[in-house]
Amino acid sequence: MFFTKRKEKEKETQAIVDISVKETQAIVGISMEGKAIRLPLSQMEAVTLVAGVTGSGKTIFHRSLLTTILATSKPDKVKFLIADPKRNDYLEYFDMPFMLRNPIGDSKDVIDTLEDLKTEMDKRHQLFNHGGYKDLDVYNEAVERGETKDGEKLPHIVFLIDEINNVMWEYKEKMEDSIKYFGAKARASGIHLVLSTQFAKKEYIDGAIKLNANTKITLRTSNKIESMVALGEYGAEKLQRQGEFYASINGDKTMRGHVPYIDDDEIDKIFGYIKSNEKASRDVSFPLTLFKNRKLDFEEERRNVEKYGNTMQRKIEKLMPKYIGSDIKIRGKKVLSRTVAFEYKRSQHPDGMPNLEKVEKALETDLNEDVEGRFISVTLKGRNIVIIMPLPEKYHMPIDIKTMIEEAFE
C-alpha cells in the first residue's frame, strides 16, 4: 500500500553527516552505567510498549526516540507514522520527508492506517518469500548488490500511537486483532508499532499487548499495580524524576536509565533544516552541530559531585563489614551523569557469596537520607563488588542528545 512496487521520485542532494552511521537505530536513553541504551531497527520488535503517568517524561521520551532515529538514518531507510490524539504534540513532523503521511488524530484513522500497514506487511512477506529473503534488511542488501529483478529498497516503518488507551476505548477488538497480527509477522517485514499510554491499567494494556510487546519502556507509574501491568515487575512507581525509566529491551533483563534532554529550540532547528534544505531527498541528514552540547563548563559541578562521592564512599565503607565482609578494598570510583559507581575488591578467597538483593535493600535503608529513597544497584564483577548509587538531583551532570548520539557511535 505504502511502498511495495511504488517508485518514488526524489531529487538527489548532498548530505551533511558528522557521524559515521553504521545502521539506523533508536537510542532509548542512558543507563545507570552511563552507556547509551541502543535499539537498532534491525533488532526492534514488532510491538514496543511505553507507559508513564502525566509528567513522567513520556513525551520527552518519544521526542528523543524519534530524533535519534532521524539522526542515524535517511528517508529512504525509515518512515514514520504518528497518531497524535492531542493534535499539537507533533506539529513539527508535518510535511517532513521522513513521514509517510502527516500525523493523524482520530481513532478511526489509526485503525485504517493499521489496515493499510497489514496490506503492506503481507505484500512484503510475499516478496521476501518469493526471493528467499528472511527479512527486510536481507532483502535490501540484495537490492544494493543488484541481485533482485527490478527490486527497490524498502524502508522500515515506525508507527507511534500516542495514548493507545483512546483507541482501545473506541476500537478495543480491532486494536487487539491488529496487535496480534503485527506481533506474529511484522518484525521481519520491518514494520514496528510503538504503543504509548499514560494509563497502565489492565483494561488498556491487556493480554494482546503484554504478550506481543517484548520491549517495554516504563516511566513513573501511579502505583505498584500499574508498574506490574506495564513492566511485569514492581519499581516504576518509585521513580522520582521526569525522564527516568525502566526498560526491558527485546525481553532482556530490566535496566534503569534516563532520557536525554532536547529542547524546543533544538527541535525547531532540526526540522527546519530538514524541511528547508533537503525536501524529499534520499540523502536527508542533519549535522550534529544543530544540537547543543551541554557538557561544557561544568567543572564546579563535577568537583561538587566528587566531594559527594567521597562522602558516600566513606559511609559505604563503614557499612561494608556488616553486609559484605571486612576484607574489602576500594578499586575505583566513577562519576557519571546521574550516578556514582564504586568498585570494591574482595579477598582472593571470599567467604561465601553475599545476597546482593539484601545488600541493596540494607544500603538503601541505612543511606536513605543521602540517596533520597532512590534505588542502589549492587552487582558482582568477578570477585569484585560494584555499587551504583543514583546522585541527588542537585548533583546531576547534564547529558544532552548530541552527546548521547556521538557516544553511541564510538
Q: Are 72 and 36 in contact (CB under 8 A)?
A: no
Q: How far apart are CA 320 and CA 283, in angstroms?
A: 56
Q: How far apart are CA 103 and CA 105, in angstroms?
A: 7
Whole-angstrom CA distances from 333 to 251, 375, 388 are 31, 18, 10
Cell numbers 511502498: residue: 3
Which residues fall within 8 angstroms of residue 75, CB to CB, at 6 or more apart?
10, 97, 98, 155, 280, 281, 282, 284
Q: Which residues are annotated as a binding site for ATP?
A: 52-59
Q: Are 405 and 27 in contact (CB under 8 A)?
A: yes
Q: Which residues are annotated as a binding site?
A: 52-59
